[in-house]
Structure 1
Amino acid sequence: MLAVRPGTAGAAARHECCTAFARTIDAGSDHHGRHGSDEQVRRPLRDLAKGRVHDYDLRLRRFDDADWQRYGALLAVAFALAVGRRFRPGQDRAPVIRMVAGIRERYDRTGRDIDPGTAEALVWAALGEYPPVPMDQAAIATQTLLLIGLLHDEGLSPTDLDAFLRSAEDLTKPADQP
C-alpha cells in the first residue's frame, strides 16, 4: 500500500511532490559523467510511491543527464503500463474524468497543480487515442502524480511495486540489452 494519503500530513507531501520534480529539473545535476544503475533510476519513483518525498527529491538531484533520460523513459513507460492496467482504448470518458478528479482531490493542494485537461490528455495519449502531450515541467509533474495515484489505487505491495517498476524499466531497454 502506498503511503501518500489525504490528510493534514499528506497535504504537505502532496504539494512537495508536485514541486520536487520541477525544482530538480531547474537545479540540474551536480554529478556529471556518472551513470546510475537500474536500481538508482527506479528508486526515486518507488520512494515517491511510498510517500518518501524527501528521498525522491534527493535521489533526483543526484542524476546526471543520462540518468534523466533513463528516468524520463521509465516514467513514460510506467505511466503507460499503469494506464493500460486501468483503462482501455475506446472506453467511455467518464471513468477517466473521475480518476483525474480523484487524484486531483488527493494530491492537488492548490487546485492548480494538476490541470485536468492535461491530465486527461495524458491518459488518452497513453491509450493511443490522443496525440502525445508536449512534456513540459507541468505535464511531467502531472504525469508523475497520475502514476502515483494509479499505483496507489491498485494497492500494490512493496514487492508488487518493485516488480511493476522493474517490468516498466525492462520495456525501456533495447531488445538486445539484458
Structure 2
Amino acid sequence: MPVLAEQLATLRAQLAGQVDEHRRLLHRLDPEQAKLGYAALVAAAFVVAVERRFRQGKHAANDAQVIDFVASVREKDDDSAEIVNPKVAESMILTLLGRGSVDTIGENTMFEHQIMLLAALIGQAQFDESELDAFMAEAASLANQILE
C-alpha cells in the first residue's frame, strides 16, 4: 500500500509549522493505516533529512557534529529536553551514517525521536514552500519503496 495523500498532508502540515492543521489531520488518520503508511513516511522523511544534513557526497558528519545537533534540539525547550534522549537520538543519526546501532531502541521510542528530530532538521533547513514540496516528494518515494 502506498503512502496516502492524507498521510502526506499530515506530515507536511507539521513540518510547515501548521500546528492546528497538523493536529486536525492527525486525528483524521485511520489508526491502522497510520501504523504502516504514516510511520513509513516519518521514517523515510527522517532518513532523507539526516542524509541532507549530515552527509555531503561520500563524506559524513563526525560524531561531534551529531552530538552538537542533538544538544541544540534538546536546548530548544523543556519538552524537547525531556523527550529527546541524547543517546537514542545520536544512535539513530549515527546508524544512518554507518556508525551506530538502534537494536536496543523500541519502536515507539524510535518513532517519537524521529518526529522530534525531523522537525528540528526541517526547521534548521528553513525550506520555502517549493523546497518543502520537493522534500516531501523524496520522502514519499522512499516510503513507498519501504512499503513495497
Q: TM-score scaled to structure 1, two decimals?
A: 0.69
Following TM superposition, the consecutive aligned residue runs of length 4 or more in structure 1 with deviations greater than 6 angstroms are none
Q: Equivalent of 2:89, from 107, 119, 139?
A: 119
Partner of 2:21: 55
Deviation at 1:108, TM superposition (A): 4.2
The answer on whether the counterparts of 1:78 and 1:147 sit within 8 Å (CA) in structure 2 is yes
Name 1:39's counterpart in structure 2: 5
Where does residue 45 of structure 2 map in the other structure? 78
- Asked if 1:106 is matched to 2:60, the reply is no
Alignment counterpart, residue 151 of structure 1, candidates 117, 122, 127: 122
Identical aligned residues as a percent? 30
CA shift at 1:53, angstroms? 2.2
Q: Quick check: 1:162 aligned with 2:148?
A: no
Displacement of 1:90: 5.4
Kindly tell me the number of residue pairs found equivalent between the two proteins.
Answer: 142
Q: Is 1:67 aligned to residue 38 of structure 2? A: no
Q: Distance in 1 between matches of 2:106 and 2:119?
A: 17
User: Aligned residue for 1:19?
Assistant: none
Unpaired stretches in structure 1, ≥5 consecutive residues: 1-34
Q: CA deviation at 1:56?
A: 1.7
Query: More helix by proportion, 1 or 2?
Result: 2
Give, in whole Å, the separation in 2 of the partners of 1:108 and 1:143: 18
CA-CA distance at 1:114 after TM superposition: 0.9
Q: Secondary structure at the match of 2:136?
A: helix
Higher gyration radius (CA): 1
Higher relative contact order (CA 8 A, sep 6+): 2
Letter in 2 for 1:41: Q
- Paired position in structure 1 for 2:112: 141
1:139–1:67 Cα change, 3 Å: closer
Residue type of the alignment partner of 1:47: A
Q: Deviations over 1:18-61 (max 9, x none)?
A: xxxxxxxxxxxxxxxxx997321111221111222232222222
Once the 2 structures are TM-superposed, how far is the Cα of residue 169 of structure 1 from its aligned partner?
0.5
TM-score w.r.t. the length of structure 2 is 0.82
Task: Give the Cα–Cα distance (whole angstroms) in 2 for the partners of residues 144 and 76 of structure 1.
Answer: 9
The CA deviation at 1:136 is 3.3
Cα separation, 2, equivalents of 1:107 and 1:46 = 22
